[in-house]
Structure 1
Amino acid sequence: MGFVARRAVAWQTARGRSPLALLPASVTMPLRRNGLDPLPELAAMREKAPVNKLPLPFGVNVWLVTGYEEAKQVLADTERFSNDFANIAADPSLAAAIGGNADEKDPGGLGMADPPDHTRLRKILTPEFTMRRLSRLTPMLEAIVEGQLDAIAADAASKGGGGPVDLVELFSLPIPSLAICELLGVPYADRDAFQRLSVARFDLFAGAGASLGAISESLDYLMGVVAQQRKDPGDGLLGMIIREHGDAIDDRELAGLADGILVGGFETTASMIALGALVLLQDHTTRDLIRTDPDAIGPFVEELLRYLTVVQVAFPRFAREDCEVAGVRIGAGDVVLVSLSGADRDPALTDGEGNLDLVDPQRAPTKHLAFGYGAHRCIGAELAKMELRIAYPALVRRFPTARLAVDPSDLKYRQTSIVYGVEKLPVILG
């Protein structure tokens, strides 16, 4: 990074601001939206070319992949592209560009690990996320959802019967938070702290080092949880792994896995629940379909996952060697960002059939990239789908006449965040 860039980054950091504030709008464009839709510029970029270089001013070569087939190619290729966090730690310029520093802790887990470590750790986790194992959680998830619906009704009653009530605070945040705490064996009393840490991790404009700092804070806490589980393994996932694998996985690795599950399973699902509820509040036909036809919820969830793609950009990939993607030469050491939201609106996903900028609850399920692709596809995908399939029908059955309490244009969305979401969702129950 050049002298001027270093001075600019230092100036921003000294004032508690993220260096990302220095970036031109063309660089942050993949993380911004108009309501629920990616900016039109993203589609225009994809139509021009599926791979484009971003004008990053930190001396780092960064490429953005927006095409569906090209996205799959990069995401699946662990030989030519690395996810390893060490790539960030080794490059102070890159660390500065994402708002942190090279001294932050490696978050561990699966998201930023390469084979063979990734392969070994995923093999440990995979049995815990099969549908057979997850099915045991159904009664717990149903109870959590019903409990939050009761909380919504009670809050509305305290305000005179109709509301308004905030579905983010009372519905979309508590459901995955409680579910993941139950899954891991993390005390419920700590869920508020983890909601804060999880949101901070994905908010790239929260201030210098905020995102990576949140990783360090949650890892410190989880190391304590793991130490306690070592002494007295509980019935949650951590206790099960300790009983089945013992010293084959050390405390730091286990804390990293727990952190990845907690953060990945909380913020993404919370955003999906809230934004999906917003879709239902504005589309009465689809709401009635979900309320009355149990067979409709599966395809609807898949379509929402594609349409919303709340994880807008995948973990960065680092080219291990000179290579080509869609005829574009990418140099060894270059950073490749995959726009999942761009790829999931690419007509190539459905061979040009249907308008992918619209929600079609009866669209045949697509092979969308909302959970990623290849070796790094989200291991908790089936758990997230379970939560969504339970939450949406329960919400519209309990409150069939609920409506937005504000004009849709007045809703505030998270800005320039890897995980897209709405800050509040005020509704009148009817």
Structure 2
Amino acid sequence: MPNIKPLALPPSELKKHVATVHVSGELSLLERKIVNVLLLNAFDDLLTKKRHTLPVGILCTMLGFDSKNYDALKRALLKVMSTPISFDLLHDGGKTDWEASPLIAYASIKNGLCSYEYSDWLAGKLANPDIYTLININVQRQFSGGYALALYENCLRFKRTGSTGWIPVETWRRLLGADASMYDEFKHFSAEVIKKAVKEINQVSNILVSPEYKREARRVVQIRFLVEDNPQKSMYDNEEDEEQKAIRESEAFRRLTLLGVGERLAISWIQQEPDRALQTAIYVEEKAKSKQIRGNAGGYARTVFEKAARIEVGGNGKGQTEPALPRPTVVEKDTSAEERSRQTTAKIKSLTLPEKQKFAEEYMAGGGKGNTYQPETGTFKNALERTAYTSWLRAKIASVPG
């Protein structure tokens, strides 16, 4: 295997490094959805463009929102603009670094177009897949409760490790925006927030969560959630071409994502340079085992892949995974919602090529991004463009009777 030497990074024993991201104050369901849809639209251009745009019609379709209610949309954007996002980085010894920024620095709605900007600092943070987990917008549309969507977002990034780990009750209240005084009593927080959110997540999303509680003197002080794939998730997943499926089943993808590299970024690396992507994963695994990584392994892998001249890999290259946790009990499903989703998926799969092309052209004519549109297949090569288009298409197909 070729010798590839990464940038010189000072070796350091990593004892404890936990990064938590939370939004101060309570966001409504619509406001949380807006944050994710706007980020999805801007993700590829976060570091190269200051201002991002999205047609209001497509924005509303992706939100599952009445596009005629502009006043409600404007109020939601104002709330997002006035809500800070905080990054708390806990280091060994209890020392905490704290940074914060408004979620959106600027927003406007003019001539049917929503324009918005992030601060340079926040754009840099959000462009790092180790900080932000991109959620499936089609899954997001299924949620009807703000607490459920907030818990989903905070559990999703732990799907591969199987558990969120033990987190204090007060931290969970902050992460979910459950700041009302009524939740000072745990029984109210449990009944009105945790139990209802868990039930909705298990009914409508692509993961299953199950809470566990740690008590001191009969008082619940910490909660952790076991997290795993929902066996029903296929009804909400994006349509993926054979290349995407093959990448997700590859050794490089498995090892990179276990290190904490975001799925979108891992797919991009494997598409560009599959051998280098696998070598990066093996190299970082070796460094992690010898405790020579300062910071998180996913961020280190990004530095190695993007900036290293050469990578030197030794050993047998075998990776290790943690055993799966027991599967939590599945609550009753909303069968009518499932059936509608199945019907929509079936209709999309049965589209002819001319029909696919027609829908894609309609989407792009309305202002949807189509930089990687492939007319010969009626699909979009870029994962983010395809996600946005699929969300629009599902809403379009679902609205057609019969």
- TM-score after normalising by structure 2: 0.28
Q: Answer 1 or 2: higher relative contact order, Cα 8 Å, separation at least 6.
A: 1
- Name the one with the larger strand percent: 2
- Name the one with the larger helix percent: 1
